[in-house]
Amino acid sequence: MTIRRADLSDPVRFVKGVGPSRERQLANLGVFTAEDLLFLFPRRYEDRRTLTPLSSLRPGTATTVIARVVAVEKRTTAKKQLSLTTVLISDGQGMAKAVWFNRVGLENTFRSGLRVALFGRVELRNGVPQLVAPEFEVLEEDDGEEELLSIVPLYPATAGLHQKTLRRIVRTALEEYLPLLEEFLPVSLRERRRLCELTEAMREIHYPTSRENWKTARRRLVFDEFFLLQAGLALRRNRAEKPLERAPSLVRGHFVEEYMNRFLPFVLTEGQRSAVEDILSDMERTAPMNRLLQGDVGSGKTVVALIALLAALDGECQGALLAPTEILARQHFLRLSPVFTALGIPCALLTGSLGVKEKKEVYAGLESGEIAVVIGTHALFSEGVSFARLGLAIVDEQHRFGVLQKHTFRAKGSAPHVLVMTATPIPRTLTLTVYGDLSVSVISGMPPGRKGVKTSAVSPKKLPAVLRFLKERFHLGERAYWICPLIEESDSDLAAATARFEDLSAEFGAYGVGLLHGRLPLAEKERAMEDFRSGVTRLLVSTTVVEVGVDVPEATVMVVEDAVRFGLSQLHQLRGRIGRGNAEGFCILVCTPSTPESRQRIEAFCSSDDGFAIAEADLRLRGPGEVCGVRQSGVTDFRIADLLKDQEILRLARAEAFALVGEDPELRNTPLLADRVFHVLGRSLNLVETA
């Protein structure tokens, strides 16, 4: 008979105590293997080392008690809005109550005489001490106090899986599988940074023996998460800079000089000049550029991108600009193609809505080199697209495509330079994680003449005043956006664009009201935008389809209904659509914040127009995946690290990782580390192991 050897990749059902039902429950927590169980870290802990007699309970304290159930009662309040389950308990020295609210079926858990342990905060009601919504465990008669009186881990919850059961499963996994977890950090690194061993950290994080030991364990595990990510990013960056083929050296020349001297309608800001120099310097090298250009809404990223494209043409190469939506691609084309035409440069638009014949013409022009610049959407990734000599690929609003999609362009050219752009300000900590393999340029400051945007929040009761204000602005010849979270009415109370369009058409029909949302046919979208640009309509009712890139300088007012439904970074993008001319802008949030978090978010947004400050607040309140616009599994989903609290460890881990990869580009001298990097992040970072 062959004895099966335990392996960290074992399905979780191989762990003692896990059957089919619990396997499904654990899957809800993202636990599929024995290794996943080891890395299911506690969300918090309870110090249950002191047992309190019921006769000594003090209001306002958190405590641990062991007692027997005397009686159980369930009742519903008079208005039938709240159910209460009350358990009377006794330990032979005193009595108390435990109370839970809206816990369906809880009354069936308790019976008279049952021995229970309860952990919670004490209140005094009518002279009787009670534990309010305490955590509890049903005890066996042979469960000793020494097992209960400890620092107890509390894990992420899922329906049907009690903490006591989950702790038992994790403890079993620790005993059987933890010895298989190999130490992957070099000894020299651990000693230099005073990091404890991995197995020691794992035991301590699940069952802390003291606060100091727990802090030491957490520091090691936080360092690991950041270090593995940074090592993966360093590997990817190193490979991008040392490709199988050299990138074309693109030196600025006639086209750049001609545009700067004859066609540029304004003087570049210091931030724009600095970004241009960074990019053009990169493009002169034969190592492919891999740069992120950040700039707040309205900071002038498009003109920087245009100059970069002209430099590619000076180097006798083609350029491509990828936009996330058809509206934005067409807007880029409308703004940039006149410049290319004036300079005698063939430029084409490629989107999914083009007819078959038109697409084939663009494909042929790109393949022959006749078309020098193409602006488009995801259609640029299609199999039919090939370039004669692609020198520069620009990805606009990078976060909309995912962190890795820019690498698809590398298959379209031998080794093109790649510039990714975003108007979503990204906190430095996120830049080091999500975009850690890129060089970064930031356009600071705004073009001169901008008067800024005043932001305020009003309740829905104030809508009549908002309508009066809009009429005042329309009399001045200005235009406005009205943003709704939904396209059509649903069972929710959220505002819908189609219904609001009808209401506002009745109110402002004399000024012209347009409707724009993602489900409209392309021709109707284009007509709605063109009518708004030209002033045929003064008010555009829309969903967030106008969030990115839409540029109408005469638009000075934006009303956002149900603003609490949007993230801060998304609100900031929306606000960036107004105040782009010489007139002052006004952003009005119509909402009723119902939670402390939503109130914090709205207050933070109204008090600042600094995109980076708003992004920091968004990161603090919503988490990294949401700020990026998409969740990057394995990149922004940290099990234990906190991007806000652990910034110093992130900087330390990044420095160590990049130094190590700099000395050992493929981690051949640290095979256990290489294995761990590819195991944890190989797929999410699109890494390929080398022989």
**Helix (H), strand (E), coil (C) string for 418-456:** EEEEECCCCCHHHHHHHCCCCEEEEECCCCCCCCCEEEE
CA–CA distance, 598 with 614 (Å, rounded to integer)? 14
Task: Kindly state whether residue 619 falls inside one of the protein's structural domains.
Answer: no
pLDDT value at residue 631: 45
Q: How many CB atoms lie within 10 A of CB 37?
A: 26
Q: DSSP characters for 584-634? A: -EEEEEE----SHHHHHHHHHHHT---HHHHHHHHHHHH-HHHHHSS--TT
Same domain, 668 and 585: no
Q: End-to-end distance of the chain based on CA atoms, in angstroms?
A: 36
- Please state the three-class secondary structure of 636-682 as a single string: CCCCCCCCCCCHHHHHHHHHHHHHHHHHCCCCCCCHHHHHHHHHHHC
Alpha-carbon distance 305 to 394, whole Å?
7
146: Cβ contacts below 8 Å, ≥ 6 apart: none
Residue 599 main-chain phi, psi, to 5 deg: -65, -40
- Whole-number Å distance between alpha carbons of 26 and 473: 57
In a domain, 82, yes or no: yes
**What pLDDT score does 479 carry?**
94
Residue 8 forms beta bridges with which residues? none
**Amino acid, single-letter form, for residue 384:** G
Kindly report the number of other CB atoms within 10 A of residue 218's CB atom: 20
Tokens representing residue 534 in the block = 């030209």
Q: Are residues 220 and 337 in the same domain?
A: no
- Per-residue tokens: 688: 């390929």
Extract the tokens encoding 212: 């100091």
Cβ atoms within 10 Å, residue 642: 15
Last residue of a domain, one of 386, 418, 443: 443
Domain boundary among 443, 465, 489: 443
Rg, C-alpha atoms of the chain: 30
Q: Which two tokens stand for residue 563?
A: 């603003």
**Residues 600, 532 within the same domain:** yes
Is residue 631 included in any domain, yes or no? no
The tokens of 635 are what?
A: 């990149």
Classify residue 447 by burial, with Cβ atoms within 10 Å: 0-12, 13-18, 19+: middle
- Domain membership of residue 195 (yes or no) is yes
| pTM, entire model | 0.70
Distance between CA atoms of residues 385 and 380, nearest Å = 6
- Write down the pLDDT at residue 630: 40
d(CA 505, CA 499): 10
Across the strands, what pairs with 100? 85
DSSP 297: T
Element holding 220 (H helix, E strand): helix 211-241
**What is the C-alpha separation between 100 and 86, in angstroms, rounded?**
7
User: Are the C-beta atoms of residues 31 and 11 closer than 8 Å to each other?
Assistant: no
Enter the tokens of residue 537.
Answer: 């309509």
The neighbouring-strand residues paired with 455 are: 587
Tokens of 503: 């209401």
Residue 629: inside a domain: no
Question: Cα(233)–Cα(225) distance, rounded to whole angstroms?
Answer: 13
According to the model, what pLDDT value does residue 399 have?
53
Distance (Å) of CA 204 to CA 197, 207, 210, 600? 11, 5, 9, 35
Token couple for 105: 């079926």
Among 420, 443, 466, residue at a domain's last position = 443
My answer on whether 171 and 131 are in the same domain is: no
617 domain residue, yes or no = no
- Give the model's pLDDT for residue 146: 60
- β 555-561/439-443 pair status: unpaired
C-beta neighbour count of 75 within 10 angstroms:
11
Antiparallel, parallel or unpaired: β 318-322 and 390-395: parallel
Q: Is the distance from CB of 559 to CB of 545 less than 8 angstroms?
A: no
User: 578 and 592 in one domain?
Assistant: yes
Collapse the DSSP code of 441 into the 3-class scheme (helix H, G, I; strand E, B; otherwise coil) and give the result.
strand
Rounded Cα gap, residues 640 and 631, in angstroms: 17
Query: Helix axis angle, 198-206 relative to 211-241, nearest 10°?
Result: 130
Both 202 and 268 in a single domain? no
| Interatomic CA distance for residues 524 and 327, integer angstroms | 11
Distance of CA 667 to the CA centre of its chain: 30
| pLDDT for the residue 47 | 78
- 613 lies in a domain? no
- Do residue 517 and residue 504 come from a single domain? yes
170 and 206 share one domain: no
Q: Report the pLDDT value the prediction gives residue 131, as an integer from 0 to 100.
A: 94
Q: Are residues 525 and 460 in the same domain?
A: yes
How far apart, in whole angstroms, are the C-alpha atoms of residue 359 and residue 324?
A: 18
**CA distance linking residue 577 with residue 548, whole number of Å:** 8
Does residue 448 fall inside a structural domain?
no
Amino acid present at 99: V
How far, in Å, are 196, 452, 658, 675 from residue 447 at the CA level? 51, 11, 36, 49
Instruction: Give the model's pLDDT for residue 86.
Output: 94
The domain containing residue 202 runs over which residues? 190-242+643-681
State the sign of the Cα–Cα–Cα–Cα dihedral 20, 23, 24, 25: positive
What contacts 256, CB < 8 A, 6 or more positions away?
280, 307, 310, 311, 314
pLDDT along the chain (691 residues), means of 10: 75 91 92 95 84 90 90 80 89 93 86 90 91 86 65 84 88 94 96 96 94 95 95 85 76 93 87 94 91 83 94 95 87 91 95 90 94 92 87 78 51 78 75 78 75 90 94 93 81 72 92 90 87 93 76 90 86 86 90 85 87 76 55 65 87 94 93 93 72 42
Structure letter (DSSP) for residue 14: G
Residue 122, CB half-sphere, CA atoms under 13 Å: how many? Answer: 20
3-state secondary structure of 445: coil
What's the domain count of the chain?
Answer: 5
Same-domain check for residues 438 and 384:
yes
Q: How many CA atoms lie within 13 Å of 422's alpha carbon, on the beta-carbon side? A: 26
Cβ atoms 197, 190 nearer than 8 A:
yes
Q: Are residues 465 and 591 in the same domain?
A: yes
Same domain, 423 and 328: yes
